[in-house]
Amino acid sequence: MALIVQKFGGTSVGSVERIEQVAEKVRKFREGGDDIVVVVSAMSGETNRLIDLAKQISDQPVARELDVMVSTGEQVTIALLAMALIKRGVPAVSYTGNQVRILTDSAHTKARILQIDAQRIQQDLKAGRVVVVAGFQGVDEKGNITTLGRGGSDTTGVALAAALKADECQIYTDVDGVYTTDPRVVAKAQRLDKITFEEMLEMASLGSKVLQIRAVEFAGKYSVPLRVLHSFQEGPGTLITLDEEESMEQPIISGIAFNRDEAKLTIRGVPDTPGVAFKILGPISAANVEVDMIVQNVAHDNTTDFTFTVHRNDYNSALQVLHTIASEMGAREVIGDTDIAKVSIVGVGMRSHAGVASRMFEALAKENINIQMISTSEIKVSVVIEEKYLELAVRALHTAFELDAPASNTAE
């Protein structure tokens, strides 16, 4: 008998009918003899609706109160699913994050899980109950409700699987696995049977929202077997694996990720003296703004241009800080651009193959797409381009790296 943690995302519990379908699925698993802990998200659209409500009161709602409110979305779903299970004769009980005691730090809206008390859940499992836990939420030491960041139910699922030493964590969603790129953007995307934790971590951090990055981090750290599957279609899904060997038989590039959430800022004509980067990025970091890509140009006339990207939510505060720095440093001008997108190719195969970046640049050049910034690591190459070319770029790269599915397998 195995212990399985199953997480169902927003669209999979988006209506009462779907919740009944999930209950039916869980019932069948239970009949098979496995112990089941289910983690659910809020019904699709609900978290956005709640955030919109808060924004009607204030542009920047107090984070603690926002957490009190957005955590209610998941509380509704756990109760509905537990009811649907009980109706089917399956003993079940629902718990909020606080009731389990999913202890987090106090960083409201982006809290990290510190510890999970597995005792209560274990007692319920022993008594033959299915335990339904609210995703995305926890409680800090002082008893304040916290949330784990958008997509955080994935992390609840994996963290519970780690705490309970589950045999597998299954992430059920509205696609049948992890694809070479978002299948909603590229019809020729292909499902991967396996992807390494390392690659999945890059894909998630570079914008593939199929798994929350912290969930992948957790799974890697605690060796939780993790699988992404379709909620209502049969199939093997995608296994996230530690095993690099087998993946290396796959193409050099495993996937293409993209992100429209960034904005670019440039400060032009700053004196090219030691400490320039610190003078610019020190105040940016002091304003709690995280910087992603950075480019400093070769100096010309003893001055240089300095460009970096930040999350679009932080664009206005970063721009304000940069204007202050520019006048202090006597810089020529500050330029901002929100119409950008980042496209990244990811693959452990890059380690053993040369010329991957140039193949990427060639494919973009053929489409006349201008590259504004580049950054590389051992297993990824990212470029910043104009946002309007994003889909074209992703499709071109998908073809250039031979990731396209054979014509018979696509919806096109």
Give the binding range for ligand ASP (CB under 6 A) out of 98-106, 110-118, 145-153, 251-259.
145-153
- Indicate the residue among 261 and 337 with the shorter CB distance to ligand ADP: 261
- Indicate the residue among 7 and 395 with the shorter CB distance to Mg ion: 7
Q: What burial class does residue 292 get, using C-beta atoms within 10 Å of its C-beta: 0-12 exposed, 13-18 middle, 19+ buried?
A: buried
CA distance 227 to 186: 22
**Residue found by looking up tokens 């610019």 in the block:** 280
Give the binding range for ligand ASP (CB under 6 A) out of 39-47, 177-185, 267-275, 380-388.
39-47
Q: Among 22, 42, 228, 253, which residue sits at the site for ligand ASP (rule: CB under 6 A)? A: 42
- Indicate the residue among 4 and 280 with the shorter CB distance to ligand ADP: 4
Q: Which of 64, 219, 95 is CA-nearest to residue 154?
A: 219
Least distance in angstroms from the C-beta of 3 to ligand ADP:
22
Query: How many other C-beta atoms lie within 10 A of the C-beta of residue 91?
Result: 13
CA distance 200 to 193: 13
Least distance in angstroms from the C-beta of 163 to ligand ASP:
18
Residue 174 contact, options ligand ADP, ligand ASP, Mg ion, none, Cβ 5-8 Å cut-off depending on partner type: ligand ADP
- Indicate the residue among 74 and 199 with the shorter CB distance to ligand ASP: 74
**Residues in 261-300 that interact with ligand ASP by CB under 6 A:** none
Is 364 within 8 Å of 394 (Cβ atoms)?
no
- The answer to whether 73 contacts ligand ASP (rule: CB under 6 A) is yes
- Indicate the residue among 39 and 343 with the shorter CB distance to ligand ASP: 39
Residue 178 contact, options ligand ASP, Mg ion, ligand ADP, none, Cβ 5-8 Å cut-off depending on partner type: ligand ADP
Give the binding range for ligand ASP (CB under 6 A) out of 15-23, 144-152, 177-185, 273-281.
144-152
Q: Among 14, 73, 138, 151, which residue sits at the site for Mg ion (rule: CB under 5 A)? A: 151
CA 23 to chain CA mean position, Å? 26
Q: Among 8, 13, 35, 41, which residue sits at the site for ligand ASP (rule: CB under 6 A)? A: 41
Q: Among 8, 136, 197, 258, which residue sits at the site for ligand ASP (rule: CB under 6 A)? A: 136
Is 48 within 8 Å of 54 (Cβ atoms)?
no
Least distance in angstroms from the C-beta of 316 to ligand ADP:
27
* Residue, CB closest to Mg ion: 151
CA distance 407 to 246: 26
Rule CB under 5 A: which residues touch Mg ion? 9, 151
Footprint on this chain of ligand ASP (rule: CB under 6 A): 9-10, 41-42, 47, 73, 135-136, 150-154
